[in-house]
Amino acid sequence: MKELLTTMVKALVDNPDKVKVKEVKGNGVSVILQITAMKEDYRFIIGKKGRIIEAIRNILMAASFKVGTKVLIEVMAD
């Protein structure tokens, strides 16, 4: 899941080398993925009215459903 999210986010931003995705174990079967990027790239990750991040969450939710986990995505402030 981490690799999929990293690939998607790096394709969206102007500074892909500054994108970091950290995986944190949640409770039980959940996984939290935290995205950190350059401040000016957050607008590309979140999108207008949050549509881009919502689409990313939907894709990862569908992918995680197949492996039996729950994925939460957080966009972290610098």
Domains of the chain: 2-75 (3.30.300.20)
- The C-alpha atoms of residue 3 and residue 52 are separated, in whole angstroms, by 18
Q: What is the pLDDT, as a whole number, of residue 29? A: 81
Q: Could you tell me the CA-to-CA distances from 64 to 12, 48, 61, 76 in Å, in that order?
A: 21, 25, 5, 21
For 49-62, the pLDDT digits (tens) are: 999 999 999 999 99
Mean pLDDT of 13-39: 91
Cα–chain-centroid distance for residue 73?
5
Q: What is the pLDDT, as a whole number, of residue 3? A: 94
- The C-alpha atoms of residue 66 and residue 78 are separated, in whole angstroms, by 32
